[in-house]
């Protein structure tokens, strides 16, 4: 009898807890056709699903071999067709600044990406007016495709932003953050930021950044508004939808990001995509690496940049330098390479984490991408980087400042080839680089948010109906009020008017005395 009562009591307790655990329906959309934009959030989706929620993900890179109940992946990989003419290395050699590159290429590319999303047959079914489907929250990528935020209005749900790299200034501004064109954190300004910059440098940065924001606000948002309304019908301004963002999850490493004023609804995370147990290497690659008596170097420019697009003279230079080294080289290279020597192994795709986890690795040569940086730090591998696009210049300069790697410009690598070779020798033979990476890894692990905490924040937004108290009220203030520009201009005018009045009074007094003296002199002449 007592056992039955105890059993019933336990069952009742379980039922009460189960009743308190609500299951939510979560929509996530990441329209950028780039593997590095997709993988940071895979573990978050799986964690939310493991917590009992239904997940619908619109992605250009669906997770393979996933067959779970209440877990739907909508494949929009057709968006990759928008990128076929884009050569990031060519743009690098043309010396285009990131902001110029954005305005010349990226904004029109996002129109192509988003059109592919809206035209997807499965996505169309989802947002169709007669579809009664309901969601509890939208997780949308916050990059340069604000039209995706319109789904928050379509489904009448709270909005959580996602960024696979540092916060972009456009979104910082819309959400009520500070626009600091010369601050080190403003990665879009590339190498033009720093502390105590000269006045005219700061003036140039100010004009450049605010001109860009003006162009985006009054041109790009206009076109994306029209695009979203074409498929979803009348909408509030996209900027207003974005201002109502509840949280934004940012894939960044705080120790690599200079301290700055931070919005209360910005939450950083990192290392979500890094595996503790990488997949095994292929047999031929494993044998190649195991035979590396002096160790090996791994060379990859990431998923968005092809090494084979490098100028031929640079490829020959790399082959020449690598062939004379005692180390083996594993190179992500997308074509045949007749010039390669016997110590070089090439393939168009390589299991990067598995390679970085190998005990014989000595150095990682790469493009400075966020996810690759996380992987290098996680496996304790020092780096040499050739930044190509986006936040990579900013990130690599921080890496060099922290002492875990070296920065080189791919455009000047031929005249700098001896420096490059010496840097390889220095990093491999000097233990301080390896030790510094391990030290940085420890610091990151002690302060990072884990995936369970980010999942909890997602649920928190739903439970609190949007977490209104975390949003900055500055988001709704005009830019001139946010920075007190109207007050500064008013006081400047007042001070200028007072200055003019004082000058006028002084001039009148001087003129009065001058006339008095002139009159007195006249009288003296008459008397004589």
Domains and CATH numbers, the chain: 21-270+449-480 (3.40.50.2000), 283-446 (3.40.50.2000)
Taking phi first (over 0 means left), then psi (-120 to 50 degrees means alpha), and beta for anything else, what does residue 291 get? Answer: alpha
| Residue 528 confidence class, pLDDT cut points 50, 70, 90 | low
Q: State residue 285's pLDDT score.
A: 93
287 three-class SS: helix
Q: Which residue has the tokens 């860009």?
A: 212
Strand partners, 138: 27, 159
| Residue 19 confidence class, pLDDT cut points 50, 70, 90 | very low
| Pairwise CA distance, residues 385 & 153, whole Å | 42
Contact 304, 34 (CB under 8 A): yes
| Residue 197 confidence class, pLDDT cut points 50, 70, 90 | confident
Strand partners, 331: 299, 346
DSSP E strand stretches across 334-492: 344-347, 361-366, 383-385, 405-407
CB neighbours of 491 closer than 8 A, spacing ≥ 6?
Answer: none
| Pairwise CA distance, residues 433 & 405, whole Å | 7
Residue-wise burial string across 467-478, b where 16 or more C-beta atoms lie within 10 A, e elsewhere: beebbbebbeee
pLDDT at residue 84 greater than cutoff 70: yes
pLDDT at residue 270 greater than cutoff 70: yes
| Pairwise CA distance, residues 144 & 32, whole Å | 9
Contact 405, 382 (CB under 8 A): yes
Q: State residue 83's pLDDT score.
A: 84
pLDDT at residue 268 greater than cutoff 70: yes
Q: Distance from CA of residue 304 to its chain's centroid? A: 15
Q: State residue 56's pLDDT score.
A: 97
| Pairwise CA distance, residues 464 & 512, whole Å | 73
How confident is the model over 15-31, as a mean pLDDT? Answer: 73
| Pairwise CA distance, residues 118 & 115, whole Å | 5
Q: Which residue has the tokens 């995706």?
A: 148
| Pairwise CA distance, residues 367 & 301, whole Å | 5
The region of weakest confidence among 251-255, 320-324, 373-377 is 251-255
CB neighbours of 217 closer than 8 A, spacing ≥ 6?
Answer: 239
| Pairwise CA distance, residues 141 & 155, whole Å | 16
């Amino acid at each position: 009898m007592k056992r039955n009562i105890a059993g019933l009591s336990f069952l009742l307790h379980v039922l009460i807890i189960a009743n308190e655990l609500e299951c939510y329906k979560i929509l996530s959309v990441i329209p950028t056709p780039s593997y590095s934009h997709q993988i940071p959030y895979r573990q978050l989706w799986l964690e939310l699903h493991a917590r009992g929620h239904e997940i619908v993900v619109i992605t250009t890179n669906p997770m393979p071999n996933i067959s779970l109940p209440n877990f739907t992946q909508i494949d929009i990989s057709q968006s990759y067709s928008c990128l076929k003419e884009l050569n990031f290395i060519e743009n690098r050699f043309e010396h285009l600044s990131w902001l110029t590159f954005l305005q010349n290429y990226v904004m029109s590319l996002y129109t192509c990406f988003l059109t592919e999303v809206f035209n997807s047959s499965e996505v169309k079914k989802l947002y169709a007016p007669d579809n009664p489907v309901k969601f509890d929250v939208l997780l949308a990528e916050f990059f340069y495709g604000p039209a995706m935020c319109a789904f928050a209005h379509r489904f009448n749900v709270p909005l959580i932003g996602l960024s696979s790299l540092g916060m972009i200034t456009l979104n910082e501004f819309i959400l009520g953050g500070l626009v600091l064109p010369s601050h080190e954190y403003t990665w879009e300004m590339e190498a033009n930021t720093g502390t105590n910059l000269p006045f005219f440098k700061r003036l140039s940065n100010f004009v450049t950044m605010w001109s860009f924001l003006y162009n985006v606000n009054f041109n790009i948002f206009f076109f994306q508004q029209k695009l979203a309304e074409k498929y979803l019908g009348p909408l509030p301004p996209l900027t207003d939808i974005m201002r109502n963002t509840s949280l934004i999850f940012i894939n960044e490493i705080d120790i690599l990001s200079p301290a700055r004023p931070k919005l209360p609804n910005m939450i950083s995370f990192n290392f979500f995509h890094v595996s503790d147990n990488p997949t095994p290497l292929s047999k031929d690659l494993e044998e190649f690496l195991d035979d590396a008596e002096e160790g090996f170097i791994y060379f990859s420019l990431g998923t968005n940049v092809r090494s084979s697009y490098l100028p031929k003279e640079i490829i020959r230079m790399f082959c020449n330098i690598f062939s004379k080294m005692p180390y083996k080289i594993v190179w992500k290279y997308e074509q045949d390479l007749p010039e390669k020597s016997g110590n070089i192994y090439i393939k168009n795709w390589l299991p990067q984490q598995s390679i970085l986890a190998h005990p014989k690795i000595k150095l990682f040569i790469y493009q400075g991408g966020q996810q690759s940086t996380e992987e290098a730090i996680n496996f304790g591998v020092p780096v040499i980087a050739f930044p190509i696009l986006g936040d990579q210049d900013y990130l690599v300069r921080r890496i060099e400042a922290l002492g875990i790697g070296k920065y080189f410009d791919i455009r000047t690598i031929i005249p700098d080839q001896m420096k490059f070779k010496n840097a390889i020798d220095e990093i491999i033979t000097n233990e301080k680089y390896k030790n510094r990476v391990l030290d940085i890894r420890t610091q990151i692990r002690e302060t990072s948010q884990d995936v369970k905490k980010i999942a909890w924040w997602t649920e928190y937004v739903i439970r609190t109906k949007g977490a209104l108290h975390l949003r900055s009220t500055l988001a709704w203030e005009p830019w001139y009020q946010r920075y007190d520009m109207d007050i500064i201009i008013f006081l400047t005018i007042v001070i200028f008017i007072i200055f003019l009045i004082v000058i006028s009074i002084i001039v009148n007094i001087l003129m009065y005395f001058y006339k008095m003296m002139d009159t007195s002199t006249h009288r003296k002449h008459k008397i004589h």
